[in-house]
Copies of this chain bind each other. A is one copy, B any other.
Amino acid sequence: MLGNFSYCNPTKLYFGKGAVKYLKDELPKYGKNVALVYGGGSVKRNGIYDEVVKILAECGKNVAEIAGVMPNPTLEKLYEGMEIARKNNTEFILAVGGGSVCDYAKALAVSVNCEEDPWEKYYLRFEEPSCKTLPVGCVLTMVGTGSEMNAGAVITNRATKLKIGHVFADEKVMPVFSVLDPAYTLTLPHYQMVAGIYDIFNHICEQYFSGEDDNTSDYIAEGLMRSLLHSSRMANKDMNDYEARSNIMWTATWALNTLISRGKTTDWEVHMLGQAVGAHTDATHGMTLSAVSLAYYRHIMPYGLKKFVRFAQNVWGVDPAGKTDEEVANEGLAALEGWMRELGLAMNITELGADEGMIEAIADSTLIMQGGYRVLTRDEVVKILKESL
């Protein structure tokens, strides 16, 4: 059943080699006081920082820097950015980096003028902004999260060991524009590239593995998965394959800009498990997802058997002739596992620094979602985490 929904994604995307030049068209539309948000030193080493700063200067902007945004941006860092933005009367936020930097910029955009504590309001009570939010633009340098065209913003509270994502309902929280230059992603280490690829794949799975019907959303999701399998294998062979990297970048955007979730309930339990692992190990997001995925999918497979059979056939080309549904579904998951090993993904949480003694604490940090084929009990969370060791 394709349920009722609304859809609006106004983000303007500039895609391709040299697309950063379009900043010159976009920046003049917004205020003079810009907060430039970025992460570690990589954007300085590869020259992207210099390119962006030059354009900001040409556009006559006053720039306040918010540097050092970490892979799992923390609440403390958000407070720090709010102070800088308030002091500088920031009117526009320009994020230069990967998904964490974009997420952080959006969290900042809804928090600068917020009179309450943003953690309480947005991440514990999941409220929408009631203050004026700032417009955000992104120059994407890493692929995976889809943050460049959605209203999601994940923030980690180190004190309470909670990593929570809020997908805002208001499209005003989405970036007003994003620059997507696949060439920017070529310098990324292999580990980060494949972690991003799995993040993309899992975003599609989280939306695909819900509901019983043959929605258009499911067919688009299968197309995206097949495209990603094709391009990821090319990129894994040759990381400098621009064609492969550009299709991966484009797939990532559509994997998580709400399109393929329209009319569906969606699951997101792998992300809840992975984010809990991330909050306790600070491991790379995509790897926390790969490390828990197979145990989770094998656990829920009997509850969504029909969809796992479809997944095996339509995504992995499993021939169902003479096989039971369970055999077909298992063959699909085995094919998924084979591809994950081929890419060199983390296959368990032990390699990410977790151990048996942390399982209960990770389980405590794991939110239980309602939209998938099985609503987990706490015992099942513990079981899946143990199987992921």
Question: Interface residues, chain A, CB within 8 Å of chain B?
Answer: 1-19, 22, 171, 213-224, 226-227, 230-231, 243, 246-247, 250-251, 254, 259, 262-263
Contact = CB atoms under 8 A, between A and B. Distances in A.
* Copies of this chain in its oligomeric complex: 2
Contact of A8 (B6, B10, B219, B231): B10
Contacts of A259: 254
A220 B216 contact: no
Nearest to A253: B7
Name the residue in A213, A231, A250, A262 with the highest tally of chain B Cβ atoms < 10 Å from its Cβ: A250
A247 B4 contact: no
A243 B213 contact: yes
Contacts of A4: 15-19
Contacts of A3: 16
Contacts of A2: 243, 246-247, 250
Nearest to A16: B4
A15 B262 CA distance: 9
Given A1-B243, A215-B227, A219-B224, 12 more contacts: A2-B247, A2-B250, A3-B16, A4-B19, A5-B16, A9-B9, A15-B263, A213-B243, A216-B223, A216-B247, A220-B220, A250-B262
A220 B224 contact: yes
A146 to B, nearest CB: 13
A182 B231 CA distance: 36
Contacts of A226: 219, 222
A207 to B, nearest CB: 13
A14 B10 contact: no
Nearest to A5: B15
A12 B8 contact: yes
B17 A6 contact: no
A270 to B, nearest CB: 22
Contacts of A262: 15, 250
A280 to B, nearest CB: 35
A4 B9 CA distance: 20
A215 B218 CA distance: 19
A262 B13 CA distance: 11
30 contacts: A1-B243, A2-B243, A2-B247, A2-B250, A3-B16, A4-B15, A4-B17, A6-B12, A6-B13, A6-B14, A6-B22, A7-B15, A8-B10, A8-B11, A8-B12, A10-B10, A12-B171, A215-B247, A216-B224, A216-B231, A216-B247, A217-B250, A218-B227, A219-B227, A220-B223, A220-B254, A222-B223, A222-B226, A246-B263, A250-B263
Contact of A216 (B11, B214, B227): B227
Contacts of A243: 1-2, 213
